[in-house]
């Protein structure tokens, strides 16, 4: 069992013999630090077994009672693991392949698309083209309505894709389509046709128009959020928009969550047993 100070909380000295762990809300304050206990504290910063902490403290002149008392006092700031600390990684060899960062395709032009690409790079993600087989996520940026062939391209390749759609009074981010799991973007179009049979004719008239909601401020807010969603999906394996979207009011900028479900007339969901999962794809139980 290894004990280690939680690195999220700084250790600071209040006086020559007094320490504090944590700044905004201190977890621990200890007012009687001896030389031996200082050695134990230093060892805990890197990680040490309980027996090792006792040995280090004794060598510094601290009693077992004092050392155990320190460990009890530090409990709110300690991480306890059952595994020994890993040994340092061997130096890379000439044949070692560097880690390739996850790849994202930003499908769409305009200032917001450019901002999204820039922020994805800041987060360590790699930008790819629409035909790159390594693409792990596509971000589709558009206005009013997305052409079916744009999202159909990614659905056929089983690539998760996230729409960002600017309209006249709102901006919609999502849902994050996980092929074979939740609703796809055709499901959304079919649902809209159910509520407004004229929507197909309206959408055709909007394909070449740009919405005034894509302002510099809105674009910046949207790009930051989309980059975070992409990072969560590709790096942390987490998605919160599989069956919902964040919809921002064009005037107030306030977001609301809008839910969606697969449409009964859409064939996007394969027959159970015929789905082939892509490497890295989320299972339904992993999506929350």
> What is the mean pLDDT of the segment spanning 50-56?
93
At 98, is the pLDDT very low, low, confident or very high (cuts 50, 70, 90)?
low
Taking 90 as the threshold, does the pLDDT of residue 246 lie above it? yes
Give the pTM: 0.65
Looking at 16-25, 253-262, 263-272, which range is the least confident one?
A: 263-272
Long-range contacts of 250-256 (CB under 8 A, 24+ apart): 250/167, 250/168, 250/169, 250/170, 250/171, 250/213, 250/218, 251/169, 253/218, 253/221
- At 109-125, the pLDDT tens digits run 899 999 999 999 999 99
Domains detected in the chain: 2-81 (3.90.930), 103-286 (3.40.50.720)
- pLDDT, position 132: 87
- 172 vs 98, more confident: 172
Q: In angstroms, rounded to a whole number, what is the distance separating the alpha carbons of residues 107 and 128? A: 10
Q: In angstroms, rounded to a whole number, what is the distance separating the alpha carbons of residues 16 and 86? A: 33
Peptide bond into 175 cis (omega under 30): yes
């Amino acid at each position: 069992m290894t004990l280690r100070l939680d690195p999220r909380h700084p250790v600071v000295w209040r006086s020559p013999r007094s320490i504090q762990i944590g700044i905004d809300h201190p977890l621990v304050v200890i007012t009687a630090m001896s030389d031996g206990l200082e050695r134990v504290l230093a060892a805990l910063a890197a990680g040490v077994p309980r027996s090792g902490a006792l040995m280090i403290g004794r060598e510094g002149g601290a009693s077992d009672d004092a050392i155990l008392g320190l460990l009890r006092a530090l409990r709110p700031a300690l991480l306890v693991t059952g595994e020994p600390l890993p040994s340092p990684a061997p130096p890379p060899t000439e044949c070692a392949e560097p880690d390739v960062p996850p790849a994202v395709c930003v499908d769409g032009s305009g200032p917001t698309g450019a901002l999204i690409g820039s922020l994805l790079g800041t987060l360590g993600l790699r930008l790819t083209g629409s035909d790159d087989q390594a693409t792990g996520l596509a971000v589709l940026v558009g206005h009013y309505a997305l052409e079916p062939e744009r999202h159909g391209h990614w659905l056929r390749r089983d690539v998760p894709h996230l729409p960002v759609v600017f309209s006249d009074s709102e901006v919609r981010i999502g849902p994050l389509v996980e092929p074979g799991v939740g609703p796809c973007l055709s499901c959304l179009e079919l649902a809209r046709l159910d509520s407004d049979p004229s929507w197909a004719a309206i959408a055709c008239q909007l394909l070449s128009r740009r919405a005034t909601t894509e302002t510099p401020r809105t674009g910046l807010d949207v790009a930051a959020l989309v980059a975070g969603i992409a990072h969560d999906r590709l790096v942390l394996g987490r998605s919160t928009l599989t069956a919902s979207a964040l919809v921002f009011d064009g005037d107030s900028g306030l977001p609301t969550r809008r839910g969606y479900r697969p449409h009964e007339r859409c064939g996007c969901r394969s027959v159970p047993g015929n789905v082939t999962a892509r490497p890295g794809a989320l299972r339904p139980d992993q999506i929350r």
